[in-house]
Amino acid sequence: MNGQARVLIESMPNDIGTEAVGPLSFDEAFTLHHRAVFRTARAVVRDSALAEDVTQEVFLRLYRNLHATPGEDLLRAWLLRVTLNVARNTVRGQNRSMVRDNEYHKSTADNGFAVEAPEEDYERRVAIEEARRALDKVKEPMRSCLLLKQQGLSYREIANSLSLKETNVGSLVARGRKEFARVYGKIGGRR
């Protein structure tokens, strides 16, 4: 209650309108970053329904800590760091079968969320599964570097997300990418 009281008194003079005062409102943060959060979560948990749970948890943490999160430029890095942590915790104890994901795709298709031809859908998911298996073989922190790189994060953001030195990110991405290409070539017979 004290915290709330303090917030109240601090916000008193001009803080009554409906627009946000901070660098980014919760709403804007969601609009800008929910895709990256969801996709990163899904790449880790391998399950769209679980990825939704993770995304919800991540944004609730943002909501609770809005006053303590970094500014706009590093917010995405912060969100994805939390995403990786929450997703890894979620994945422990979960079995990673594709069964649940299939059910999810079925239910979302029923609700009109996904409209894909079944064969196309199948091919697509085989491709996703191959990439995931290759990604699985890449060790941490290279794997997370690749995931975040793929989401378009800068080296600075990646370093911030994973608590690495920015100068090491290039080398980690290079090693991760090399390992991925090697394993993926074997799995898919493409190289």
Q: Of residues 34-53, which lie at the interface with other proteins (CB under 8 A)?
A: 34-35, 38-39, 42-43, 48, 52
Site for other proteins in 81-110 (CB under 8 A): 108
Whether the CB-CB separation of 188 and 131 falls below 8 Å is answered with no
Torsion over CA: 22, 27, 30, 33 (sign): negative
Structure tokens at 161: 């997300």
Side-chain-side CA neighbours of 167 within 13 Å: the count stands at: 0
**Tokens at residue 187, please?**
């799995």
26 binds other proteins (CB under 8 A): yes
Contact status: 149 vs other proteins (CB under 8 A): yes
Both tokens assigned to 177: 């990418």
The one segment of 77-85, 91-99, 176-184 that binds other proteins by CB under 8 A: 176-184
Comparing CB distances to other proteins, the nearer of 54 and 81 is 54
What is the nearest approach in angstroms of other proteins to the Cβ of residue 180?
5
117 binds other proteins (CB under 8 A): no
CA–CA gap between residue 83 and residue 57 (Å, rounded): 9
Site for other proteins in 4-23 (CB under 8 A): 4-13, 15-22
Token pair of 176 as six digits: 């991760």
Which residue carries 């859908």 as its tokens? 121
* Interface stretch with other proteins, choices 28-36, 70-78, 79-87, 88-96 (CB under 8 A): 28-36
